[in-house]
Amino acid sequence: RVTKEVDSTSKEAKSFLKQQEKWQAAAPASLPTGSGVKRPSGMSSLLGKISSKKQKMSTLEKSKLDWENFKEEEGIVEELAIHNRGKDGYIERKAFLERVDHRQFEIERDIRLSRMKP
Q: How far is CA 45 from the centre of its chain?
A: 23
CB 51 within 8 A of CB 58: no
In this prediction, residue 18 carries a pLDDT of 84
CA atoms lying within 13 Å on the CB side of residue 23: 6
Q: Report CA-CA distances (Å) from 111 to 61, 104, 108, 114, 117.
A: 47, 11, 5, 5, 10
Mean pLDDT per 10-residue section of the chain, whose length is 118 residues: 75 82 68 53 64 74 91 87 74 89 96 82
In this prediction, residue 39 carries a pLDDT of 58
